[in-house]
A = this chain, B = another copy of it.
């Protein structure tokens, strides 16, 4: 089915080598678009699902973007190239057709395997397909991903360019505007957005579904606005060339026709998400002059062997993380300060020695989340993104795929609770984001219930890839910070707000997490030995658990105190040991229904261990007051927990 394909003319257009297309090139585009339209209809009809009409309207946009970029089959694993981000992921048939046409894989691999279980060609684009740089499905996120890639290129002093392909319906998503502003503020002239302006979305005409003056909005946010005929390769090429060379971030509105190329599909919203019937297919292929026998081939291939997709690994650049800093037993430092100090230290080290930019993102809370020292040390790597958390989450995630080390520090409620779905998409995209949350749990000062992040364990528990670390003191925080920046993948480090004593051994003199201590993901630490019963706590709650132990000791009860720094990856041996010992208590300032207590009981159950377990945690939205008082009001002061432990033993 690819006998007549010659994509060399298209591939020769990388980085706009000429001002205008000549007749042969125009013809080559037209013929490519025609062929791809046939493939779009073939794969959707073979799958009996998918989004043909938007794919038909945006096919020239796809062909042109891949042609003028330098994204090629042989450089997809490299970061020394342009990037192409697809925001309207449901136009996957157009994306896949373009990639097949340009030699990323054989068309025969594609047509029978669209939306087929086990195939890399999912209904919305995924990075498991060569040439796809960002998975999308939820609309409105692509521009932020493109800005992330462009920012990484800029900070790496790469001269690569980013093209972002968008739909028109998604222009109303708030995150799009946030991303525009970050691009403008960072003066990214290496990004071009393209909008498939077919004026139709599922529910009808875009200006009727939700009126908005798109062009005015892009202009208001500082972008240069261009317009072209989205089905005329010559016009599109010359306008895109101008946009590419523009000193501002720029957007090209491509005027298109939904369902373009097939008379009975054009401008009919119904074909947005509906495949053609076989009868319609034959009629459409005849109109296009394309070969209708492809459908039988595709249907046959659908029963054949499954193609394998690309394996995407998170990209972990080499970062110098320096030597740990040890806080003495008499220090009283908050974990976020220990994080900020370690981060600034790492910044200094790498500024001199590393080619990898460490991008630290902030949403107007630098001094609270302690990235201000880093900002002073490495101003060129510090990205102030303003109060725009949704775009920031995606920008930071994508920048980590574009060759930067991405660090985002924010309050727990903003960096995770508010942008949970962005972090889910980062997980699906296998980004390499290091997320440092401060002010988690009830330990937020007096800000009150809206600011208490009591769901971070429960939220990340839903995601398959994220690692979560909750350090217990400044020494552990220092080591965890350095460790996280050396690891692959998405890692969240959660910290409270208050100053904490340095955890020591029983002698009160030897810091627990200093000197030869090395962080080990998943390891549970015994902070105090005991033989009657066990308590598991995480983060700043370990200090309160120690107090519980002291109170119980006075009553002749010996409590073993465990520090769980990795609640989503519990060490089994420790649980076996604790279950043998006696009753188990868990102690957290997280929602008790979705936090450490749940993790421990589930794990015990999975290990078939029977033990009496009681969980102490947050059971309602909290008060606004000093941390100690808020804990007390919630029944979580060490004295109350110790009392409850005694009571539950008597039962």
Contacts and interface: CB of A to CB of B under 8 A. Distances in A.
Given A172-B386, A464-B621, A115 B448 contact: yes
Nearest to A462: B455
Interface string A111-147: 0000111110111101000000001111110000000
Interface in A357-373: 362, 364-368
A137 B182 CA distance: 23
Interface string A270-288: 0001000000000000000
Contacts of A455: 424, 462
Contacts of A364: 169, 201-203, 209-210
Contacts of A610: 610
A447 B621 CA distance: 36
11 contacts: A117-B624, A137-B449, A137-B451, A172-B177, A181-B210, A185-B211, A213-B222, A417-B420, A458-B459, A464-B591, A601-B602
A408 interface: no
A292 interface: no
A174 interface: yes
Q: For the complex formed by this chain, how many copies does it contain in all?
A: 2
A446 to B, nearest CB: 4
A443 to B, nearest CB: 13
A106 B172 CA distance: 45
Given A173-B174, A201-B364, A458-B459, 6 more contacts: A89-B450, A169-B387, A174-B175, A209-B364, A212-B221, A458-B594
Contacts of A202: 364-368
Given A450-B137, A633-B118, A203 B612 contact: no
A318 interface: no
Contacts of A594: 458, 461-462, 594
A529 interface: no
B601 A209 contact: no
A428 B621 contact: yes
Nearest to A51: B447
A608 interface: yes
A24 to B, nearest CB: 38
A79 interface: no
Given A140-B387, A633-B117, A446 B47 contact: yes
Interface in A596-639: 598, 601-602, 604-605, 608, 610, 612-613, 619-621, 623-626, 629-630, 632-633
A326 interface: no
A600 to B, nearest CB: 10
A623 B594 CA distance: 27
A455 to B, nearest CB: 4
Interface in A48-98: 49-50, 89
A119 to B, nearest CB: 7
9 closest Cβ pairs, A-B complex: A174-B174, A137-B450, A210-B386, A117-B625, A122-B448, A122-B624, A117-B629, A115-B446, A455-B462
